[in-house]
Amino acid sequence: MPHQLPPEGDWRAWVIMGGRGAGKTRAGAEWVRGKVEGGRPLEAGQAKRLALIGETFDQVRDVMIFGDSGIVACSPPDRRPRWKASERKLIWPNGAEAQAFSAHDPEGLRGPQFDAAWVDELAKWKKAGETWDMLQFALRLGEHPQVCVTTTPRNVGVLTEVLKAGSTVTTHARTEANRANLAKSFLEEVRARYSGTRMGRQELDGVLLADADGALWTSSMLEDARENSMPELDRVVVALDPAVSSGTDADECGIVVVGARVQGPPETWRAWVLADRTVAGQSPAGWAQAAVDAMSEFDAERLVAEVNQGGQLVEEVMRQVAPLTPFRAVRATRGKVARAEPVAALYEQGRVRHLPGLAELEEQMCQMTARGFEGRGSPDRVDALVWALHELLVAPASAFRRPRLRAL
């Protein structure tokens, strides 16, 4: 398939980032074959000495070499290499050799030298940085040594550094790209369980999800907040962060639905983020209708909308679309970070849960830092989320705790 074919050009590292079952192992095995095999079984190929590196020796042997999509399974009988277990080497009929290494032992790469390497699941290695550095010193044979990296993406330093290098090329593949070779029940199960989540974006879509340095929300925090159901809720609101322009280049209009249970003292209150109905490129009437539709869908009691930029226009547009909509205008008197920090604290306390389907919202959340938003564009989804949680938990709790003056 296209994502399994080596890119053209004078690259040093080819990183194949794909979802589970997307065909990464097969791509790596076929790349190795393409490097070592010549036109005929005994003719030399481009590479003669290769390194095969996995998290452990067992994984190199059982997945990269003898796995269903490994090198041996992909090789025709007249070109099939033999495994010399005592030396941990694959030896081809034309004399080319590939040596197996464990990422747990970076020092094992000190001394040998190679003209090519296949690295599998780099993002999950515990000693990834040290092993990768040792490999770079060992890739010193031939005119242009290259390395193929097959991995499910994770936000780890070594993978980020490799991707930033000017000599690196990248291909992506979703799990769905290889659906012809995957069990139908597997695809149905993982779609039902992980579709629309950050884990699904990473493990199924092969997307690298990065947390900004010093982010108010982290991937692990949001994974801990994951929940597939909710109790009966006392209040549900829709929060709107309107776009002041329209068209294809306009900012998104953040529309987020949040519900809460607010019985008992404030420290026992909990919220559930139910849906993200954000729209882009809509006219004011378009995003107003989308917000009204979200209220109807979730039987929300109130629409909360920021009016800093749109001013009176926001409420006027809403009244034109749905005149009887319960509407509350809110105006920001502090910066985005100051508003977001008390909401982030609610997540740290485990008081906010996320239902499935919030992947894009969660990506924006992980780019919001104490310095501001470090993603692209404006954090409209996060702004809407913050307003909703202020309405349901933050503001009522502040009023609940505010001391009352006694009449004299």
398 or 77, greater pLDDT: 77
- Asked if the model's pLDDT at residue 74 lies above 90, the reply is yes
214 or 14, greater pLDDT: 14
Q: What is the mean pLDDT of residues 246-261?
A: 81
What's the CA gap between 152 and 285, in Å, rounded?
Answer: 42
Decide if 98 contacts 112 (C-beta within 8 A).
Answer: no
What's the CA gap between 41 and 195, in Å, rounded?
Answer: 45
* Six token digits for residue 68: 């269903």
Q: Tokens 């001013």: give the residue.
A: 311
Give, for 237, the enclosing helix (H) or strand (E).
strand 235-241
Backbone phi, then psi, for 352, in 5-degree steps? -125, 130
Coil vs helix vs strand at 8: coil
What's the CA gap between 271 and 235, in Å, rounded?
Answer: 9
**pLDDT category of residue 188 using cuts at 50, 70 and 90:** confident
**pLDDT category of residue 249 using cuts at 50, 70 and 90:** low
Decide if 262 contacts 269 (C-beta within 8 A).
Answer: yes
Q: What is the mean pLDDT of residues 308-329?
A: 83
HSE of 360, CA atoms in CB hemisphere, 13 A: 15
C-alpha of 52 from chain center: 27
pLDDT on residue 250: 61
* Residues 111, 116, 120, 124, CA torsion sign: positive
C-alpha of 390 from chain center: 27
- Asked if the model's pLDDT at residue 209 lies above 90, the reply is no
Sorted by sequence, the CB contacts under 8 Å of residue 351 that are 6+ apart come out as: 269, 270, 271, 393
Top-ranked range on mean pLDDT: pick from 13-22, 183-192, 233-242: 233-242
Decide if 256 contacts 278 (C-beta within 8 A).
Answer: yes
pLDDT on residue 178: 83
pLDDT in tens, 332-385: 778 888 999 999 999 999 999 999 888 889 888 988 888 888 877 889 999 999
pLDDT in tens, 31-64: 999 999 998 989 998 999 999 999 999 999 999 9
Percent of the chain residues past pLDDT 90, beyond the cut: 53
Distance in angstroms between the alpha carbons of the first and the last residue of the chain: 81
pLDDT on residue 15: 94
138 or 206, greater pLDDT: 138
Coil vs helix vs strand at 214: coil
By mean pLDDT, which of 59-68, 140-149, 216-225 is the weakest? 216-225
Of 53, 61, 4, 45, the C-alpha closest to 28 is 4
Decide if 273 contacts 353 (C-beta within 8 A).
Answer: yes
C-alpha of 392 from chain center: 29
- Asked if the model's pLDDT at residue 407 lies above 60, the reply is no
Decide if 392 contacts 260 (C-beta within 8 A).
Answer: yes
pLDDT on residue 345: 93
By mean pLDDT, which of 17-31, 107-121, 203-217, 260-274 is the weakest? 203-217
pLDDT on residue 292: 94
